[in-house]
Chain A
């Protein structure tokens, strides 16, 4: 089982809709979770982090964490074409190597 799993997509949503991106992880000890956005041909950039169960909101972005289900999601409200990118879920190790493990990413396409 991969440490971090994401549906590769593409996830296609119309402009103005809510985009829902999902991520599951295998290490029950994981304490924090990160969402990076990567535009085509560019490098990843951090957009959200979440540390506790529940929701965390930042502008049009909401991260949701359910540790019991080992599930983290990213909601993008009022999706814009400029949100079209690949979204990478990342999890730090609970033990061992001290660097983020990334999922393979979900490609989001927002249709004008």
Chain B
């Protein structure tokens, strides 16, 4: 009954460092998503993967890359972290691209100093 698991839960990076946020789901969902949430701005889509083997840019993709490693896992990489990337990052999944009942992970709180 894990659902969507995100690691790590908290991270502090220095400007210019790189890191990968991990996301895995055990619900046999086809579609996965990465959003960031900033105060007053709601959830903004970074990248999504409608199905295994495909990835597409969302609203705010600059500074990020993604990998859909397999059906279960969808990782988000920051190559050179910037203070503007300080945010809470949520991974979500759904049965398919037309299923809008998303299951969200618990989030990763990232601070870039």
Interface residues, chain A, with chain B CB atoms under 8 Å away: 4, 6, 8, 32, 34, 36, 42-46, 49, 88, 90, 92, 97-105
Q: State whether A8 touches B43 (Cβ < 8 A).
A: no
Q: Mark B102-113, 1 if CB is under 8 A from A, else 0.
A: 101111000000
Interface residues, chain B, with chain A CB atoms under 8 Å away: 33, 35, 40-45, 48, 50, 56-59, 90, 97-98, 100-102, 104-107
Q: State whether A97 touches B45 (Cβ < 8 A).
A: yes
Give CA–CA (A110, B54) in the complex, Å.
43
CB-CB under 8 A from A36, the residues of chain B are: 102
CB-CB under 8 A from B59, the residues of chain A are: 97, 101
CB-CB under 8 A from B48, the residues of chain A are: 97-99
Q: State whether B100 touches A101 (Cβ < 8 A).
A: no
CB-CB under 8 A from A92, the residues of chain B are: 98, 100
Beyond A34-B101, A45-B104, A97-B57, 13 extra complex contacts between A and B, CB < 8 Å: A6-B42, A34-B100, A43-B90, A44-B90, A46-B101, A46-B102, A49-B101, A97-B45, A97-B58, A97-B59, A98-B50, A98-B98, A104-B41
Return the contact of B106 from the options A4, A43, A98, A103 (Cβ within 8 A): A43
Q: Check A32/B100 contact, CB under 8 A, given A43-B107, A44-B90.
A: yes
